[in-house]
A and B are shown apart, each in its own frame.
Chain A
Amino acid sequence: MKDEYIKLPIIKEVEVKGYELFKSDWKYEFKNGLNLFVGGNRLGKTTTVYIILYGIVGIPQENKNFFSDRVVYREQIKDVRSTVRLNFDIGSNCIEIERNLLNSQINYLSINRQIYKKDDAQILEEIYSKEIVSMASISSLDDYKFLLEKLLIREEEGNYLLWDPEAQIRVLRLLFNYEKFDEEFRKFEGDVRKFDTDVRGQQDIQAQFRKRLDSIKVQKSSKIKNMGGFGLQELEKRLEELNKDKVALHSSYKSILEKIENMERDKKQSTQIVHGLSNEIEELDSEIIRIENTFFKSVYSDPKIQLADHKLKYYQICMFCNKKIPKEKARSIVDEIENKKRCPVCSSEFKREIEDHIDERGRTRLVDDLVKKRKVSKEKKRELSLRQKHLDDMSKKLKGLWTGKSKAEVEIESQILAIDDIKLKLSRPSIERKEEIAVYDRDIKILQEQVDYFQKIIDKAKYNRTKALDDLKKKNDEFNQTLEKMSNALARKFKEYVNRFLDECDLVVKKRKPKGSMISLKVFIPKFNGRERIFVSQVSKSEAIFLEYAFRMSLCELFKQITGNESLLVIETSEGTFDIGNARILAEIISRFYSNDSYLLVISNLGRTDFLRVLIEKTKKDISNRVLNFLEIGRLSEEQERDRGGFDEILKELFNI
């Protein structure tokens, strides 16, 4: 016997007293090999399984009313002293314990015939627990509870070890390792989980700070961008463009000024020329008028033309009616005109000069001079006209240039304003940074510090997680080595069990990462018809039950083989088991298990006599003392009472009871 391995409880005897589910107290003594609990439905067969389980590990707090609830009518519970007394071995140690089925209290405890007094139930429980842990090489009673629930007692539908990797691995760890292995493994796993939780938790907290930090950074960036309707970069770009434009505008303005200057100079010169020409023309025209006057005067003073006063002076003829007047009167009027130089009618002063007559030659000369001067005047006037037109054009152009200059000045002014505006806007962020942006900067700094602080914690937690993970992996590697050693033997045994039912079905090792596990683990899964059946849905219900029984029986057998320790396997046949022809095969498989005297409890209904018959045939032992008849101890319903005779006949025939 190897002490480092777990020692499973081997039930020797179970005795139930005062429990109203049953019509009488009862007691059963387990034998190695086959044990049969038979009866009808609702007579307490399944409850008996739990009586054994909770008798050993205690009734779980969350299920404290389990046994009282099983009683159909609670008022039936008369005896508060409903008890179970279990007699079981752990290794070479004998334990006898009596528990109250209604409150789980230990009434009696005897270990290796040493009886512990029932002074304090709590203390008794502690003693029991401590002793069991020590004797069974387990970490706590929980290990027993787990093994009993998951491996040794298959009552519950769907309780498949083959397709529950988490449970399967723990069962394997418990069965095939030294006593603290599973505890250590779970501790490392717990450490990894704890540090992983730490990492995730701190990352979550850090993420909150980081999210806030990013948000504030965005807000700050947005704030800076939105200052003045432009982003800083845009403003700088715009300023650059404006400065470029400014240079171009100034150059253009300078060019306009130069043009104006040149044109004003030209205009001044042209104006001087025009003025000169105008003066010349004026002089010429004056001269022309003077010559014209000379010409006209000479013409009008032609002696051929009889002037009014001439006619009066020499011919005494009236200037108005051309009639002869007296000489004296005529002389008097002429004297007024010539000597007194007054108008003979109104006596006003008379400015009249009598021009000397010019002869024909002189007149021709005058006209030639006149024509010549008129020609010159005309030419000069034409030139003046052209010059004036040129001057007008120049003035127009100048006007345009002056307008352009004014426009350019306005543009330059508005550009200067625009540049100043942008410079102001550009300078504003720095001011606002002190006032508004500073708030963001302060928040950013604080949040960044928080993010950094949590990063340190996360880094430390990650380090711890990595370390714990390494320990866990080492532990798992250690377990994998063990698994490797026993996997062939287990597979062989499994194959032997299933080959009656399924040809060519193997048990293979597969890496899986169970839910909640921190690492990938190796598990056993069945493989037949060339396919690995990773999920229970990949097999039929009867296949699932057969494979599951085979796996459990193989495990128990291998456990016994490797550790030398016994186990008690409890199988409650379920309805899905019995398909046509299957009952016999199942019976043959089960009989293989107890053929080497392994403890086996089969709980079955009396309905499938073919199954029971094969079991009995294979046992080759006296069956009558290996049967607990629930028809006898259970409270039968009216229908069951009515059919009782038929069942009794079957019992008599099968078990001779």
Chain B
Amino acid sequence: MLLDNKTFKRSNEILYVFYSADELALPFLSKIGIQKCIYLSEILSPLKEIILSFLNFIYLHKGPYSKDIQNILDYLVALDGIEVDSFSTYRRKNSYANYKITEAGKSLVEDLIYDPMEKEKLQWIRIVLKLIDAYKDAFDLSEEYKGVDKIIDLVYQEPSFYEISQRNIKGEFIPMGNKNTLTMELIRFLEKAEKALPPNFDREKYKLDLEMVLLVFFEYLYVEYLSKKVQI
């Protein structure tokens, strides 16, 4: 596998997801769950002014999907950064695998966060994972969905995805940072608010406060989920 800068970063970010899941004592992450965690982390990242490595997501019935994630997962398995906790196939070609971070993977993350920027990314992903963990059991899903996979109903409400889902075209790219979505509207509002702050304002504290803002956003998605559920 070609180890370029972009692949390293994508690998890093996926490792941070597994690292955070381990911290939160989440037993494993499925192929579906990891996709959702990375999608939410990436689409909301402008809130924290961090740049994630821009994975391309497409619309699938089971939520946003990036094939790069699967490749990196395979690479990380080969690297022994993560390991396959359980593996099964269904309908012949389709596989279902659960992953978890290895000790070598944890060591790798701890080396990576020597770099402050990488540390910041980990912090951001940790917050998102924390909220996913908090909300994951709030949805009325079938037995098929376990653990973090349960967050799928929340991701469906995310405005960028929701807009695409209305067209229901399988494989359509989800535009990250669509200016017309409520997500970006919220991000722009916060950007303006940040710019209006006085120069001596404690911006670090402000960024922490943003975690509260993120919580509100999750709450909004949840309310959307509930309202649609009532309609159904």
Contact = CB atoms under 8 A, between A and B. Distances in A.
Contacts of A293: 3-5, 8
A307 B108 CA distance: 12
Contacts of A307: 78-80
Given A305-B108, A371-B116, A311 B80 contact: yes
A96 B11 CA distance: 172
Interface in A278-324: 289, 292-293, 295-297, 299-300, 302, 304-308, 311, 319, 322
Given A293-B5, A374-B117, A300 B108 contact: yes
Interface footprint category on B: 20 to 34
A363 B111 contact: yes
B104 A364 contact: no
Given A289-B5, A296-B5, A306 B104 contact: yes
> Chain B's interface: helix, strand, loop or mixed, by majority?
helix
B80 A299 contact: no
A304 B112 CA distance: 14
A363 B110 CA distance: 12
B205 to A, nearest CB: 21
Nearest to A370: B115
B81 A292 contact: no
A292 B80 contact: no
Nearest to B75: A308
B80 A308 contact: yes
Interface in A321-366: 322, 351-352, 363-364
A401 interface: no
Contacts of A306: 80, 104
* Central interface residue in A292, A305, A364, A374, by most chain B CB within 10 Å: A305
Nearest to B2: A351
A299 B112 contact: yes
- Most chain B CB within 10 A, of A289, A299, A308, A364, is at A299
Contacts of A292: 5, 8-9, 115
A311 B77 CA distance: 12
B114 interface: yes
Interface string A640-655: 0000000000000000
A299 B117 CA distance: 15
Given A307-B78, A311-B80, A367 B115 contact: yes
Interface in B185-232: none
Q: Pick from B78, B114, B117 the residue with the most CB of A within 10 Å.
A: B114
A363 B112 CA distance: 10
Nearest to A343: B1
A296 B7 CA distance: 10
Contacts of A308: 78-80
Nearest to B5: A289
Contacts of A371: 115-116
Contacts of B81: 305
- How many A residues touch the partner, as a band? 20 to 34
Given A292-B8, A374-B117, A304 B107 contact: yes
A307 B3 CA distance: 14
Contact of A299 (B83, B111, B116): B111
Given A299-B108, A299-B112, A305 B80 contact: yes
B53 to A, nearest CB: 12
Contact of B78 (A299, A319, A364, A374): A319
A297 B2 CA distance: 12
B12 interface: yes
A464 to B, nearest CB: 107
A308 B79 CA distance: 6
Nearest to A363: B114
A391 B107 CA distance: 47
A302 B8 contact: no
A602 B174 CA distance: 148
Nearest to B103: A304
Interface in B80-109: 80-81, 83, 104-105, 107-108
A24 B125 CA distance: 168
A289 B9 CA distance: 11
A292 B78 CA distance: 22
A470 to B, nearest CB: 110
A374 B116 CA distance: 11
A355 to B, nearest CB: 9
A319 B4 CA distance: 22
Contacts of A299: 108, 111-112
A370 B105 CA distance: 23
Nearest to B105: A305
Contacts of A297: 3, 8
A292 B112 CA distance: 10
Contacts of A304: 104, 107
Contacts of B105: 305
Contacts of B78: 307-308, 319
Contacts of B4: 293
Contacts of B104: 302, 304-306
Contacts of A374: 117
A364 B12 CA distance: 18
Contact of B114 (A319, A351, A352, A364): A364
Nearest to B114: A367
Interface in B47-75: none
Contacts of B112: 296, 299
Contacts of A367: 114-116
B112 to A, nearest CB: 6
A157 B85 CA distance: 161
19 contacts: A292-B5, A293-B4, A293-B8, A296-B3, A296-B9, A299-B108, A302-B104, A304-B104, A304-B107, A305-B104, A306-B104, A307-B78, A307-B79, A308-B78, A311-B80, A363-B114, A367-B115, A371-B115, A374-B117
Interface of B: 1-5, 8-9, 11-12, 78-81, 83, 104-105, 107-108, 111-112, 114-117
Given A305-B80, A305-B107, A363-B114, 9 more contacts: A292-B8, A293-B3, A296-B3, A296-B5, A300-B8, A322-B83, A367-B115, A370-B115, A371-B115
Q: Closest 9 A-B residue pairs measured CB to CB?
A: A296-B8, A308-B78, A305-B104, A299-B111, A306-B80, A289-B5, A367-B114, A367-B115, A293-B5
